[in-house]
Amino acid sequence: MTLADPTAPHPAQRRPAESTPAVRVLHVVGCLDRGGIEMASLDICRAVPPGQAHQTFVTVNGVTGSLTPAYRDAGATVVQCPIRPGHLFPLRLWRCLRAVRPDVVVSHISLFSAAVLAAARVARVPVRIARMWSEGDGKPASLRRRLLRRLCRVVLAHAATDVLGVTAAAVDFAGPRPHDRRYRVLYNGVDTSRADGWDRATARRRWDLPGDEPVFGFLGRAHPVKNRPFLVEVHRAAREHRPGVRLLVAGPLGVDDLTAAHPGVDRDPHVVLAGEVEEVGPVLHAADVLLLPSLREGLPGVVLEALAVGVPVVAADLPSLRELSGLVSGLTLVPLSAGPQVWARVALEQAGADDVRRAEIARVLRGSPLTLDHVARQWRRLWGVDPAP
């Protein structure tokens, strides 16, 4: 699988010098609640000023989402185009395309991007990009679902000018055709300044964490795919070897997933359930190691954020993370089938990394193609945005 080439704009992206100064980019997303897709898209929105690209985010889940004010503060327009009732969605989408008249459409809704980009092709939008965020869609592989996926892949092949996965595994889920250069990888990039301004002692005081005990950290929403109850099992296994180890869990959508699987965990003095946090810096600087026991992932931004500040990561052995491990330092993969005892042992080992090791982890990430500046330049090229002087 090839990487997106930032120096080779698609022919459809060439714009005459006398054209309007801002490229009109229309994104189609589920909603703008806090999550990996939404935060990565917000970073790009902030990195490309409205004078270069005016970005409109169209949400299809019936709500705009909690991050809407942040997108608008970045200069974006946010509108709704509900996907339900389904028989009216094509008409609503068509009207939206006619109202915005975009130069570029970027669809972020997995294989259903095929329908969006087909409409964009009919509307003669010159650049039509499917952004593939994950190595699957989490749906059971029923006969109906397999047929629907096959249909979407066929339509996508005819409607998209570019199919860009956050990893090779995400591209593979789109069903690339042999030697079709439209299907390629464009990694997400991390804003390496996001977690700056914190130190270990200050971050730990925020949650009354001791300075002399290891802390396992987690950042992610309460969703079954994140497998958060496994964190508690790992923490309990680790306490058999290091009784004082703490678990710090942060993320939106409550803690019912944890308390249902482990009644009383919210009263455990060795566990901090921090809920949704506005800043990732305190969580990352408080943690000695970040755990990611997900069942499925694309290119998780929290992993990049942790590595950018030198925090080692222990994550599930997934195809997308195997690919990422070849680009970074400090990412250790462990199969979920290995169980909490093995995870606990590896997590304690990684939590013991010294300052030299942590500095090396941060240096490798910050020098990789996984930084926001690098990725934003590629999006500018794809959209036909002239770089700032």
For the domain that residue 316 is a member of, what is the CATH number? 3.40.50.2000
Q: Do 84 and 225 fall into the same domain?
A: no
Residue 41 lies in domain? 11-189+371-383
Q: For the segment 364-386, what is each residue's pLDDT rounded down to a tens digit?
A: 999 999 999 999 999 999 999 96
Q: Do 110 and 210 fall into the same domain?
A: no
Residue 291 lies in a domain: yes
Q: How far apart are CA 32 and CA 71, in angstroms?
A: 9
Residue 282 lies in a domain: yes
Q: Do 163 and 111 fall into the same domain?
A: yes
Sheet (strand 246-250) strand order:
271-275, 246-250, 215-219, 289-292, 313-316, 331-334
Q: For the segment 200-220, what is each residue's pLDDT rounded down to a tens digit?
A: 999 999 999 999 999 999 999
Q: Do 57 and 162 fall into the same domain?
A: yes
Residue 2 lies in a domain: no
Give residue 200's pLDDT: 94
Q: How far apart are CA 286 and CA 151, in angstroms?
A: 47
Q: Do 245 and 158 fall into the same domain?
A: no
* Per-chain mean pLDDT for the chain: 93
Give residue 3's pLDDT: 52
Residue 71 lies in a domain: yes
Q: For the segment 42-62, what is each residue's pLDDT rounded down to a tens digit?
A: 999 999 999 999 999 999 999
For 313, the token pair is 């990561």
Q: How far apart are CA 294 and CA 300, in angstroms?
A: 10
Q: How far apart are CA 27 and CA 10, in angstroms?
A: 18
pLDDT-derived band at 166, boundaries 50, 70, 90: very high
Q: Do 94 and 209 fall into the same domain?
A: no
Give residue 350's pLDDT: 98
Question: Domain tally for the chain?
Answer: 2
- Number of Cβ within 10 Å of residue 79's Cβ equals 13
Q: Do 211 and 127 fall into the same domain?
A: no
Q: Do 19 and 56 fall into the same domain?
A: yes
Residue 359 lies in a domain: yes
Q: Do 226 and 288 fall into the same domain?
A: yes
Q: For the segment 329-356, what is each residue's pLDDT rounded down to a tens digit?
A: 999 999 999 999 999 999 999 999 999 9
Residue 73 lies in a domain: yes
Residue 194 lies in a domain: no
User: How confident is the model over 223-242, as a mean pLDDT?
Assistant: 97
Q: What is the CA radius of gyration of the chain?
A: 21
Q: Do 126 and 269 fall into the same domain?
A: no
Indicate the pTM of the whole model: 0.85
Residue 4 lies in a domain: no
Q: Do 36 and 169 fall into the same domain?
A: yes
- Residue 4: pLDDT above 70? no
Q: Do 40 and 173 fall into the same domain?
A: yes
